[in-house]
Homo-oligomer: A and B are copies of this chain.
Amino acid sequence: ADPAVLAEAAAHQDRLTKPRGSLGVLEEVAVRLAGSAGVSPPPMPVPAALAIFAADHGVYVRGVSPWPQEVTGQMVANFLAGGAVANAFAAQMGASVTVVDVGVAGDLPPGDGLLVRKVARGTADLSRGPAMTREQVVAALETGIAVAADLLAAGARCLVAGDMGIANTTASAALICAYCDADPEGATGRGTGIDDETHTHKIDIVREALAVNRSLCEAGPLDTLRAVGGLEHAAIAGFILKAAASRVPVILDGVIAGAAALAAAALAPAAVDHCVAGHRSAEPGHRLALDHLGLRPLVDLELRLGEGTGALLAHPLVCAAVRVMQDVATFDAAGVTDKEA
């Protein structure tokens, strides 16, 4: 982010007809977006484009989710038919929806809005060894970069990162532990809803994954990602890196995007300047990830759905923050008396 632009944006906030600081977190968001774009006021982050990266996880076989694995593909079909919550929220916010099969286990029927970019039919079981090969993690990263590039070329001025994949909160917890040096017990949640017994088992699986992949996780951020991540985590990390390189904001969804953002930040720390934390999910690891990234979430409503839903809810708030910078009158221009010093 450009320090001169950050200072200019903060000074502009203080001239607007409102008590200074009275827009709370939204003032910081607008200033950060100015720094990201390199211009104050920043451009409106519209249109927004949601990309849902779908992939399966080898760790599914360890019994970490109560959902059948075929639900990943079934939900892709639901996205394409417009029947999922992400579709409803995207319609509400005026965002386009692109679904990317970066690693779904089953074959998906082609459909409008589906990009088949299958790097593998799901990852290997991260509790028994690396989830991905070096070639796979690079291919998935490049897929995310390419998807972002295409959406930007088509006119998107705000990217929204979503995910779909049964068992992906397990890989997210492992990534968060690895990147934040956190304990699996504090970082592993109940995903879409599991009982106490399965939760305990899931924590053990994350612990096993970290133990079996220890040397790889210590080798560097890309190896960490391939050791305990998912294909959609790698793709979302690439998506974030491309948004950052293009100085376009990317709104992060919940724990999957948060874990992917940790990977992106480990690879290129400045990428965080271009990220907005859309919401805080109910997953405990998400809080750890956001704290590590230094991001404050805009929406905090106990969502735990994924798909980009929490990020989409934040989009109008981000737009509102930018619109203030563009539209609101200054004390001088409006003839409003300023507060006594």
Contacts and interface: CB of A to CB of B under 8 A. Distances in A.
Interface of A: 16-26, 66-68, 70-71, 74-75, 77-78, 81-85, 87-89, 91-93, 192-193, 282, 298-305, 309, 312-313, 316-317, 319-320, 323-324, 326-329, 333-337, 339-340
B303 A334 contact: no
Given A26-B301, A320-B313, A88 B328 contact: yes
Given A66-B340, A282-B24, A339-B66, A92 B316 contact: yes
A323 B92 contact: yes
A77 B335 CA distance: 9
A317 to B, nearest CB: 6
Contacts of A313: 316-317, 320
- 5 pairs of A and B residues whose beta carbons are closest in the complex: A83-B329, A24-B302, A19-B192, A25-B301, A22-B305
Contacts of A75: 17, 336
A245 to B, nearest CB: 28
A300 B303 contact: no
A213 B66 CA distance: 60
A304 to B, nearest CB: 5
B21 A327 contact: no
A323 B67 contact: no
Contact of A320 (B66, B82, B92, B300): B92
Given A71-B337, A74-B337, A340-B67, A81 B17 contact: no
A334 B74 CA distance: 8
Contact of A91 (B68, B304, B327): B327
30 contacts: A17-B78, A17-B83, A17-B85, A19-B192, A19-B305, A20-B193, A22-B305, A23-B85, A23-B305, A23-B309, A24-B303, A25-B301, A66-B339, A66-B340, A68-B337, A71-B336, A75-B336, A77-B334, A77-B335, A78-B329, A78-B334, A82-B327, A83-B327, A84-B328, A88-B324, A88-B328, A92-B319, A193-B339, A299-B299, A313-B316
A327 B22 contact: no
Among A66, A78, A301, max chain B CB count under 10 A is at: A301
A71 B19 CA distance: 12
A323 B19 contact: no
Contacts of A17: 75, 78, 83-85
A100 to B, nearest CB: 19
Contacts of A335: 74, 77
A298 B301 contact: yes
A4 to B, nearest CB: 25
B299 A317 contact: yes
B193 A19 contact: yes
Contacts of A302: 24-25
A334 B81 contact: yes
Given A24-B304, A323-B92, A85 B16 contact: yes
A193 B302 CA distance: 31
A172 to B, nearest CB: 15
